[in-house]
Structure 1
């Protein structure tokens, strides 16, 4: 095998490895997206079985994170990527961490869904969960779509969505506080809802992190902590 053929073969293998970790990251993203959707459904429908499925799937998400991290370490060790290729590998290692955290928050929501289903009480707070949940689901979906296309413009627009989610979160907190003041008997139940909306707000933050990493890969600019 002459030198040119060897180099072409090497680059082809390298490109395939980069595409593989990107594909696996998208699969993980799809998994946590479904996990979140089911967790929100479990709250609204008082579905204990669905909540338990979300909790069980968390281990699969954890395993996916470990596998992708190991693949990234092997690429760095064997290929010693530079410039944009190195940024992509580093982005994947950070993105899988954010996705794993989203899975953690979905599991927390599912745990609270179990408690709420057992109480079999009123639907107080469900409107806030449904409204904020829809916004967060949309933001996460947009973030994953921007990553799939390496679309910086879409990533920047998605980052802006976090401001709206933060505002909706504050509104939900005020509404839930009002419920507790009007009916002290609802405090225990509403506290569970409070933890749910807190998890949703954190998921929005993680989706924002994903978009910031897209900008880093494509533009080589770190826009974290910038207005």
Structure 2
């Protein structure tokens, strides 16, 4: 079973408070899906032939034009070699997503405090509890290989993304884990459990080793962020 968990939070700005909900990790399907069915599944947790069960959210165009990602914190206990791999993987994921042909551009944040998406390398191992992200909706939550949390406003615009990565991720999974988590921080938050998509899609629930975006992964990203 894939050791990835997700939490979604919608900001109820009209009341000045935030409401939170845990999202189901995946939808079970069989065989290949159409491009549109695949997109709706990952974007709004729509089972094939059914309506959305989550709101579609995305970064607004102003943010998507230069979406900053920063390595915000590294726990003192985090293995230095793995931390270096994660740091390099962030740059590699940025290049991959910038080459997807979508209407967004990711950049490495110069100041991590101003990053739209912050990455935290936490001391917890898989199955442990996250600490140290500064995100009260993540700290204290059990982590798998990684966890991504996004917050959006009433207009459905994402306003913050936070990613935590466990300290015992196998080194050769640094890039595929971050490829999935950063892709999902774009608002494509639901995985798919389907043997057809194992080793093909970054959204496969049962694989942590997918090294590239499939044709349908790319379709989903472009559908969510249409090219200009």
Q: TM-score, normalised by structure 2?
A: 0.23
Q: TM-score, normalised by structure 1?
A: 0.23
Between structures 1 and 2, the one with greater strand share = 2
Structure number with larger C-alpha Rg: 1
